[in-house]
Amino acid sequence: MDAGFTEYVTARAAWLRKVAYLLCGDWHRADDLVQSAITRLYANWSRAARADNVDGYVRRTLVNTFLAEQRTSWWRRVDLGGAGDVPVPRADVELALDLRAALDRLPARQRATVVLRYFCDLPVADTARALGCSEGTVKSQTARAVDALRELLGEPIREGRA
Write down the pLDDT at residue 78: 54
> Which residue ranges form the domains of the chain, and what is each CATH number?
1-88 (1.10.1740), 92-162 (1.10.10.10)
Tell me, rounded to whole angstroms, the distance of Cα 51 from its chain centroid: 20
pLDDT confidence bin for 68, thresholds 50/70/90: confident
- The 3-state DSSP composition of the chain as helix, strand, coil percent (nearest 5) reads 75, 0, 25
For residue 4, CA distances in Å to 41, 44, 51 come to 12, 13, 13
Label residue 161 by pLDDT band (50, 70, 90): very low
DSSP state of 74: G
pLDDT at residue 10 tops 90:
yes
Tally helices (H) and strands (E) across the chain.
Answer: 8, 0
Residue 154 backbone phi and psi in degrees, to 5 = 70, 15
pTM for the model stands at 0.59
At 155, is the pLDDT very low, low, confident or very high (cuts 50, 70, 90)?
low
Left (φ > 0), alpha (ψ -120 to 50) or beta: where does 84 sit?
A: left
Q: What is the pLDDT of residue 100?
A: 81
Over range 21-41, report the average pLDDT: 92
Residue 157: pLDDT band (50, 70, 90) is: low
70-112 pLDDT per residue, tens: 876 554 555 555 555 555 554 555 666 677 888 888 999 999 9
- CB distance 20 to 30 below 8 Å: yes
